Structure 1
């Protein structure tokens, strides 16, 4: 097969979507080197990383790079042009990974990775520009994709609820996995935690934004402290997202600003240490396509308190305490119980390691390769490969869906 694969979000600043694409292409290159791979550093006009043309992390004689674009405008013109399939040498597969997808492929099978549709659930969770761009991409997939890869059963169900015309037998669930290959790694203590004892901090990993629900988490933490909880700091490891400009003011109003450590984006080594040495990993997200920090924390034995919403129960299984994300008092009570019960923390850690072992990039890549084979052997979707979206407006957005 000639496999065309979107790597536009796999640069140095990659987040959830980028890690998914990066890990899958790496695994496929190892498992199936007999195929020809064309990797696309830019893909469409929604997400653009100007540094991607200079990054080449995927080596091999069977690996080739598609057109490189140094500006969003040249990428937009190319990917929306009528001759794109011919210029790409008509790959058997074109796999879209960054929310945008082409609608003009006449023979190549279009595979579309669907992460989640949180932007369509609650406008307050993101910006108008991101919401419009994400929905435009998902809508295009509903028109033109030959197959959809959903990253959870919850995402699959949501997609079909939003687009009931899409054939249910052409959407497959392929789970993401941890970015960390070595579960025995000990990591490196972040300098910000030099004075914090091992096992004596709460951890939350993720971009600080409304959907990740850190506002309610700090409210629960304030209740935990007010009810006599051990004064362990709450460590927030993640970059600043959108619509949270007043978050620090909120900490002050709650009286917990001295106890909350916002350490920002951390390295992989630092993240491993944080997972391995926390009292518990707290993940109260309101909506997830998957919930990677839950799985990665479990990989390193973190006792886990997590939201019971959307896909998170699929990831956590029976190895976490699941709480409604809106239940602030429930979170506070669970923290109080876990902080004072070493046996329960140990039980959760053992269960977490076993649950994390169920997810494998090798298994996921094998599933994807099998899907490619089925797609090539199957007809395109009833001639819809030539369909166009009613309104193909150019998305002039600096940052797309990379924080998913």
Structure 2
């Protein structure tokens, strides 16, 4: 492995997604990019940062000071790559042949891969891309309209442009390799990227009063609210348990931003006089400290998604010693293995019975929590980003 100092090459980190998300609580891909950016800002003197502007089809250097402003409490190392420009001026990024270009954000939305390919053909940089999943290819019906066209194009462009692709699970790697074989493209070299399960908590000392929940008296599902995440099944189960086992029922808390094609579900939730608001609630734009409190104080957690690239909320739950009843689809079994209670995400009866089991049998719940505390090994974002940097440097041509 390369040393922490790494090669004497400029490491260009794309911050386009983080800048677009500025002022909002990070989730999923945004959190991953911010953790990577913060790591390279703090530990890699030769790192520089850039963003892409589609209006002028250009890449611009972003001053380290502006990047550091995303993480106001974090110290930074002295840069060997100069900080270009003041915060109020734009400096065009001119690629060099020995540059390493790293993108881990929402590239299919930012859509600069064709331009980057042209720059690579001209300059010869080493390009690194993260792929989280290929949901729009394997399940296009569960994606925002238009993704079934632009996302496959991004994946094809990545095959032509990237020298190294990091995948966040073995499931994603298999799906991606299978797709490239199906369309007749040679897959780039692939590596595994690990994701952390720790959550920064300095922003709010005691969120309990604000959230209005009793510790241990709610069940938690953390996920963007959209059809693929299978919230409707959980709503139906809570409706059923309200009729058949109300004495043991506790509120079901959905934590996540409301996504596309959810109007019917949101109507069901708000219009259900039996459940809302005493037995079901939706919380969006939750701060990190609030999210950490919710995990630590939930009775247990749920994750019935139909398909994922990883399943970060499963890891975040297990890292806090909480039982997680989770889907057995795609990558999700990789997260916790036998320490997750895995069920078919289409098995309504199985989910209902397992939920009722943990709602009514406190001893079984406590025993399962003890197994999780004994067996699960949480991964910190810091350790995962150090591993990413080491694997990246080891893959660079000598």
Aligned length: 356
What SS does structure 2 have at the residue aligned with 1:219? Answer: helix
Contact 1:299 1:357 in 2 (8 A): yes
Q: Counterpart in 2 of 1:397?
A: none
Q: CA deviation at 1:361?
A: 2.8
Cα distance in 1 between the residues matched to 2:235 and 2:243: 12
SS in 2 for 1:377: coil
Q: Deviations over 1:350-375 (max 9, x none)?
A: 34345553423344223322332233
> In structure 2, how many angstroms separate the alpha carbons of the residues matched to 1:237 and 1:12?
18
TM-aligned CA distance change 1:351 to 1:3, over 3 Å: farther
CA distance, structure 1, for counterparts of residue 316 and residue 83 of structure 2: 31
Conserved in 1, the CA contact under 8 Å of 2:323 and 2:369? yes
Distance in 1 (CA, whole Å) between partners of 2:106 and 2:172 is 14
1:190–1:289 CA distance, 2 compared to 1 (3 A): farther
1:36 aligned onto 2:63: no
Q: How has the CA–CA distance of structure 1 residues 192 and 359 changed in structure 2, closer, same or farther, with 3 Å as cutoff?
A: closer
Alignment of 1:115-264 (within 5 A): 115-164=132-181, 170-180=189-199, 188-189=207-208, 191-193=210-212, 196-229=213-246, 230-251=248-269, 252=271, 255-258=274-277, 259-264=279-284
Q: Report matched runs for 1:3-402 at 5 Å.
A: 3-10=11-18, 11-13=22-24, 14-30=26-42, 32-33=43-44, 35-42=45-52, 56-57=69-70, 59-62=76-79, 87-100=94-107, 101=113, 102-104=116-118, 105-106=120-121, 107-164=124-181, 170-180=189-199, 188-189=207-208, 191-193=210-212, 196-229=213-246, 230-251=248-269, 252=271, 255-258=274-277, 259-354=279-374, 356-377=376-397
What's the TM-score, normalizing by structure 2? 0.79
Counterparts in 2 of 1:211 and 1:191: CA distance versus 1, 3 Å: same
User: Structure 2: how far apart are the matches of 1:173 and 1:278?
Assistant: 31
Contact preservation (8 Å) 1:319, 1:352: yes
Q: For the residues of structure 1 that align with 2:126 and 2:95, how far apart are their CA atoms?
A: 13
Further displaced range: 91-100 or 104-113? 91-100
- Structure 1 runs not aligned, ≥5 long: 46-51, 79-83, 379-404
Seen in structure 2, the aligned counterparts of structure 1 residues 146 and 191 have a Cα distance that, compared at 3 Å, is: same
CA distance in 2, matches of 1:290, 1:43: 29
CA distance in structure 1 between the partners assigned to 2:85 and 2:356 by the alignment: 55
Kindly provide the CA deviation profile for residues 100-150 of structure 1, in whole angstroms up to 9, marking residues without a partner as x: 332221321111100011112223322123443333222211222111000
Question: Is the contact made by 1:3 and 1:91 (CA closer than 8 Å) also made in structure 2?
Answer: no
Distance 1:174 1:120 in 2: 21
For structure 2, which runs of at least 5 residues remain unmatched after alignment? Answer: 1-8, 56-61, 108-112
Cα deviation, residue 224, structure 1: 2.7
Are the equivalent residues in 1 in contact too, given 2:162–2:188 (CA < 8 A)? Answer: no
The one of the two structures with greater contact order (alpha-carbon pairs below 8 A, sep at least 6) is 1
Hey, which of these two has a bigger chunk of helix by percent? 2
| Post-superposition offset of 1:43 | 6.8
Q: CA deviation at 1:187?
A: 5.4
Query: Deviation at 1:167?
Result: 5.4
Within 1, Cα distance between the matches of 2:228 and 2:96? 41
